[in-house]
Amino acid sequence: MTRVRLIAVPVVAALVLGAILLLATGTDPLAAYGAIVSGAFGPDGIGDTLAYAVPVAGMATALAIPLRAGMVNLGGEGQLVLGAISALAVGLYVPGPGPVKVVLALLAGVLAGAAYAALAAVCENRLGVPLLISTLLLSYPAMSLAGYLVRFPVKDAGSSLPQSPQLPEGTRLPELDGVTTGIFLVVAVIAVYAVIDARTPAGFETKVTGWAPRFAEYAGIDRPKLTVRLLAASGGTAGLVGAIAVLGFPYRFIDGALITPQYTWIGLLAALLAEASPLGTLLAAVFFAALTSGGFAMERATQVPRELTAVLQAVLIIFLAATSGVFKRKAGRA
């Protein structure tokens, strides 16, 4: 019950604040909100929402995995892009039959993301650079590397844009009604995460570390080892999302295409909203994806800039963070 109230209060507060902002720009809030809902879930919009939800839910899960143990991975963008570019390289340059290449490309994406995130974990364990900082700092060189690759060695010769050539016909993940079949992979990862979280010792150790880090250490949980494992799982998932993105439409790597839509940051917000619980993170990610795709519909219908939905998302999290503190204190007193 408290949990419901915990979410409901910030949602209402964010909607009220958004309504004030809408009134200030001279728009009927109900019309704008109506346009968001019908745009996100209407027959024309549901496909967009799902297509957007795949990377957001994937990244949300990736960032939720270490967050469950109280570790914040801020390097999702670098891991995502590195996974994408690795999958692309396999798809373009490794010989062999199409389906085998697709599997290899997905694996390459997972491995690249996992290795890069694990490197950040090693930076914390061995060199004392906090995870928050090591993940963040490592993210930028990865993005620069990808930007360099698609401008020079892997550039599409027939185009003036910084993008790679398209993957050949057989080396692609097909689409169903505009949604990549990669959606099944993302759902599978979330299912695995849910099972590990709820049913295995590893999931329990992670949660204990999140609840009480000192107690966890006292109880014999090897924190450095756990950090490497969680970060590898996190980066691997981010890399998979990147691989799915290039193996799906438009079947190539375009510089900035995975960064500009803010999949990583919206995913992080979703994971924070759900306190990294597997199903909650999925729900929150779909909710945020719907808000974002609904925002585009609202912009078309009412001239209100779509960024309103980005404001709503952030405000919601701010209210949630603030009220969770209040509830925490009340519970402590009782």
Contact positions toward another protein, by CB under 8 A?
21, 25, 72, 123, 127-130, 132-134, 136-138, 140-141, 144-145, 147-148, 151-152, 262, 265-266, 268-269, 272, 305, 307-311, 313-315, 317-318, 320-326, 328-329
User: Following DSSP, what letter does each residue of 65-127 receive, concatenated?
Assistant: HHHTTT-----HHHHHHHHHHHHHHHHHH--S-HHHHHHHHHHHHHHHHHHHHHHHHHHHHHH
Contact between 78 and 116 under an 8 Å Cβ cutoff? The reply is: yes
Locate 48 and state its tokens.
Answer: 């967009």
Locate 207 and state its tokens.
Answer: 């949660």
Least gap, CB of 323 to another protein (angstroms)? 7
Between residues 54 and 273, which has the closer beta carbon with respect to another protein?
A: 273
Least gap, CB of 183 to another protein (angstroms)? 25
Question: Which 8-state DSSP code applies to residue 28?
Answer: -
Least gap, CB of 263 to another protein (angstroms)? 13
Q: How many helices (H) and strands (E) does the chain have?
A: 13, 2
Between residues 46 and 311, which has the closer beta carbon with respect to another protein?
A: 311
Contact between 242 and 113 under an 8 Å Cβ cutoff? The reply is: yes
What residues pair up with 254 in beta bridges, in sequence order? 163
Least gap, CB of 55 to another protein (angstroms)? 16
Between residues 104 and 311, which has the closer beta carbon with respect to another protein?
A: 311
Least gap, CB of 40 to another protein (angstroms)? 17
Between residues 52 and 102, which has the closer beta carbon with respect to another protein?
A: 52
Q: Whose structure tokens read 């997905």?
A: 106
Q: Exposure string (b/e) for 219-257, b if CB count within 10 Å is 16 or more? A: eebebeebbbbbbbbbbbbbbbbbbbbbbbbebbbbbeb
Between residues 25 and 159, which has the closer beta carbon with respect to another protein?
A: 25
Between residues 148 and 184, which has the closer beta carbon with respect to another protein?
A: 148
Between residues 39 and 78, which has the closer beta carbon with respect to another protein?
A: 78
Q: Is the peptide bond before 95 cis (omega within 30 degrees of 0)?
A: no
Main-chain phi, psi angles of 175, to 5 degrees: -110, 150
Between residues 106 and 304, which has the closer beta carbon with respect to another protein?
A: 304
Least gap, CB of 142 to another protein (angstroms)? 8
Beta strand residue intervals within the chain, DSSP E: 175-176, 179-180
Least gap, CB of 301 to another protein (angstroms)? 16
Locate 76 and state its tokens.
Answer: 């999702």
Contact between 91 and 101 under an 8 Å Cβ cutoff? The reply is: yes
Least gap, CB of 105 to another protein (angstroms)? 23
